[in-house]
Chain A
Amino acid sequence: MSEMKAPDRLKAQPAAATPTPAAGQPLYANRQKVYPKAVRGPVRRAKWAVLALCLGLYYLVPWLRWDRGPGVPDQAVLVDMANARLFFLWIELWPQEIYFLAGALILGAIALFAVSSLFGRLWCGFTCPQTVWTDLFMWVERLIEGDRVERMRLDKAPWTAAKWARKTAKHAAWLVIAAATGGAWIMYFNDAPTVTREILTGAASAKVYFFFGLFTATTYVLAGWAREQVCTYMCPWPRFQAAMLDEHSLVVSYRAWRGEPRGKAKAKGVGDCVDCMACVQVCPTGIDIRDGLQIECIGCGLCIDACDQIMDRLGRPRGLIAFETLTNLAASEAAAAKLPPGPERLACGMAARAAPRFLRPRTILYAGMLSVVALAMLGAFLMRETLTVTAIRDRAPIFVRLSDGGVRNGYTLKIANKTHEAASFALALDAPAGLRLVVQDVAASDAEGRPLLPTRPDGLAQYRVFLTAPPGLRLPESTPVTFRLLDARGHVVAREGSVFLGPKP
């Protein structure tokens, strides 16, 4: 940040945003580098805990093993591109079941809406990968270059050997973290121990190195350089955040009714805000929370910790900045407006607050949608078929006229066996009597003479099936037929409908 004070900089912003440039004022404001200061407190501790949990999960999950038997990957979470399988613990999905992934994403989106309408940008401030990695990179930066003031001094200092050494060490450390991040991403798509060994020995494929490099580069650039600009300019979420929040959402707020007018701690007739700038200095996006709810605010709450520290030192109650609803802010403001700054005003304002309303039409709607989608997903998952059959009717020719005057249709039956056991199934036909069923190259049959089709474990078996209408059989142009697969006990395990086509009668 330049020597210009933060409030001045922020006041300059609306002017810069309007499309009428005054003389000498550019339309585009250069980025002011943000130097967030270290802070301690409950919010910071919560952020560290979430960071440790998220990063721990991200880096360690690929190394979890899950025994699925011989010939199948034993990685607990794996997207196996080459064999087109998605493994998640005991779940194994085929490409045609990708809608489960879509369902999970929909679930995530609605959950995000619900959380935002209740607690503001909790996702942005605590769990978003951009926030988590930026936080980690800032921590490394602080270890190597020191805290805010030292970093600002270092950036202004001439390029001495010491400065070079520090900057090099910082970027090297960042690159190591970025590489570990990019590497961990690859592991979700490859066997983790194998691909790690291959990457380190230079034996991995060009594709692996490309994506390794890509994710290393994006991590380094986004968390090291772009930082809050990702949230402010690149991310669409802050834009529709506004539609999720309402006056009952708990958002990081400055209680202006208590803090204003700002003044020195010992001055008379001023509010609790001593204008120490602690909240601005710790802000990772470089804004002033006292300007109210802003699109740049990611809701991380670090300004709460910073302000509470100052309030403790001054012997004033905490909570000048807090998670607060707009309704309560207005209620406190109205109640305390007539009183002069002081303890009575504070007590009156705080007493005017109501408990946040969590049950609102909006949150009930989100909760309802969340339950519906979750139930639909659960239902779909419980009813998921492990054996499916599809019948693809020949299109050329549509039907074959036989020499005896009969008509024949050809079908390709594809039987997907999603279990790991080989099994044979009898093929039965639901069709008008007289229609003959023949499976090409299958001689085996069950006790009732139905063709017995072997399936491949965890694979697709394909059969040519012919249906023949003998000359005497009168059928309409199109006759519905159903193929059924029966297991050894005679139960129908899969069925597929199709049609038998013939000439116009």
Chain B
Amino acid sequence: MPTKIEKDQITGTETTGHEWDGIKELNTPLPRWWLMVFYATIAFALLWMILYPSLPIPGATGLTGWIAREAVTGDMQAHQARLEPMMARLRAATPEQIAADPELRAFALAGGRAAFANTCAGCHGAGGQGAPGGFPSLADDDWLWGGSLDAIRTTIAHGIRTPEDEEARQSQMPRFLADGMLTAAQVNDVAEHVLSLSGRATDEAAAARGAAVFAENCASCHGERGEGNRELGAPRLSDHVWLYGGDKASIVRSISYARSGVMPAWQGRLDPAVINMLTVYVHALGGGE
């Protein structure tokens, strides 16, 4: 602390005693109103700390008892309450009734889009385009278990091969090579035959040999000409849509070790109204029947 406060000769203002290279700092206090505003902000901050949760201590809620999570929950509940009349109607209606009513349909398409992004897009893609490796496209015209509103709703509600849902879509393709039902040569022949169903066989002789094996082992589910069976979720083998890949290696692998994709059941996890909205939305993606 300087004992003697120096006064600047020219301005007559006191200096702070700080000096750098001969330049001295004048002690020019803030204007009073500015200082007051500064103090007011400190008072405001202290008041804020007391009123609102600000200390990192569990259970420290502040005098007002306001909690951000509760505020959000309240907002969400208010939002749900606002939607409730519409949701009640969506719950009570069948997907067919929703699709036929322009007002319900518009609501379901908008709500379905949001629910789809939240629940389904992870596997099926943002636009329902599917993903390689067993996540089917929902925008095309190929349906394993049926593409009517009713069939889509059943699939969403009960899932596919969901162990905990008794009404889930069930079927199991045998592991022909792994379980020794067919030899490797037979698998190769059958794969050639399957390729021939869409006109892509590379070995006509093998394809011909495979026809007999196919009729014996595969036709019961996939149909004699590979037309598929929706009751069993057996895919059509004569078209251009391949869930696990349509090249020969993929087909050999499918025959050898089987495929059994799983989709969760959403009944009980989603509001029935949301399941109905999703049904209408997926149906409208382009492939609905």
Contacts and interface: CB of A to CB of B under 8 A. Distances in A.
Interface of A: 21, 23-24, 394-397, 400-405, 408, 410, 440, 464, 466
Contacts of B142: 402-403
B129 A403 contact: no
B239 A397 contact: no
Interface stretch (B59-67, B78-86, B133-141, B156-164): B133-141
Given A394-B127, A410-B139, A401 B286 contact: no
B240 A405 contact: yes
Given A396-B126, A397-B127, A403 B236 contact: yes
Contacts of A408: 140, 286
Specify the main secondary structure of chain A where it touches its partner.
loop
Given A23-B10, A402-B140, A403-B241, A397 B284 contact: no
Q: How large is the interface on B (under 10, 10 to 19, 20 to 34, 35 or more residues)?
A: 20 to 34
A401 B127 contact: no
Given A396-B126, A397-B137, A401-B137, 6 more contacts: A21-B11, A400-B287, A401-B241, A402-B240, A403-B240, A403-B241
Interface in B259-289: 284, 286-287
A405 B238 CA distance: 11
Contacts of B223: none
A405 B239 CA distance: 7
Contacts of A401: 137, 140, 240-241
Given A402-B140, A403-B140, A410 B286 contact: yes
Nearest to A23: B10
B111 interface: no
A505 to B, nearest CB: 15
Contacts of B137: 397, 400-401
B129 A400 contact: yes
A464 B240 CA distance: 25
A397 B126 CA distance: 8
Closest 10 CB pairs of A and B: A397-B129, A396-B127, A403-B239, A403-B142, A405-B240, A396-B126, A400-B139, A400-B140, A403-B241, A402-B141
Contact of B127 (A21, A395, A440): A395
Nearest to A22: B10
A404 B287 CA distance: 13
A50 B127 CA distance: 61
A102 to B, nearest CB: 33
Contacts of B129: 396-397, 400
A241 B286 CA distance: 62
A467 to B, nearest CB: 11
Interface string B113-152: 0000000000001111100000001011110000000000
A397 B240 contact: no
B284 to A, nearest CB: 7
A289 B99 CA distance: 78
A374 to B, nearest CB: 43
Given A404-B239, A404-B240, A410-B286, A397 B141 contact: no
Nearest to B288: A440
Nearest to B285: A410
Contacts of B287: 400
B175 to A, nearest CB: 26
Contacts of A397: 125, 127-129, 137, 139
A466 B284 CA distance: 11
Contacts of A396: 125-127, 129
Nearest to A438: B286
B260 to A, nearest CB: 21
A269 B219 CA distance: 127
A377 B125 CA distance: 46
27 contacts: A23-B10, A23-B11, A396-B125, A396-B126, A396-B129, A397-B125, A397-B127, A397-B129, A400-B129, A400-B139, A400-B287, A401-B137, A401-B241, A402-B140, A402-B240, A403-B142, A403-B236, A403-B239, A403-B240, A403-B241, A404-B239, A404-B240, A405-B239, A408-B286, A410-B286, A464-B286, A466-B286
